[in-house]
Amino acid sequence: MRFHENVMGVYFDDLDAYQILHNARYLLLFERTIGSFWRHLGWGTVLDAANNPDQFHMVRANTVEYLKPVRGTGDVRVRVWVEKLGRTSLTFGMRVLAMDHDVDHARGTRTVVRVDPVSFAPLPWTAPFREKLAPYRADTEAP
């Protein structure tokens, strides 16, 4: 299984009163890395139902488990992959990692649901979307 990873900066205004990364900022790091993942796959620009009907989706749930504080400013690695691809939903796995070793500062998931852009009713993901995500899926066995 492949994953997508970004190096993200942690800045002074990201820190809480204890000088550690504020809990809400982890979701922002995940959000930005997922956006980078979509761009990496050639999506994530202007909404265009004709060329990318799968880009219409909504967040259903986020979970974050805080394991080891990120202290002070600097850089972290943020990794995402497809934990599960259902009929209408997609769950990302996410990690915030130290720069120099694979120690999790936080782990989490984000589930999104593909929706009709007018009614917001759930829709199945298209076959081309499923094919493009195949290398990043943890819920299928590698060939």
Q: How many angstroms separate the CA atoms of 54 and 48, rounded?
A: 10
The per-residue pLDDT of the chain, averaged, comes to: 94
Average pLDDT over residues 31-35: 96
Torsion of CA 24, 29, 31, 36, to 10 degrees: 170
Say yes or no to pLDDT of 143 above 60: no
Residue 43 vs residue 133, higher pLDDT: 133
Average pLDDT over residues 68-89: 98
8 A C-beta contact, residue 113 and residue 89: yes
What one-character DSSP code corresponds to residue 39?
H
For each of the domains in the chain, give its residue range(s) and CATH number, in order of start: 4-136 (3.10.129.10)
Residue 113 tokens read as 């649901």
8 A C-beta contact, residue 118 and residue 140: no
pLDDT for position 141 = 59
Average pLDDT over residues 72-97: 98
Average pLDDT over residues 115-131: 95
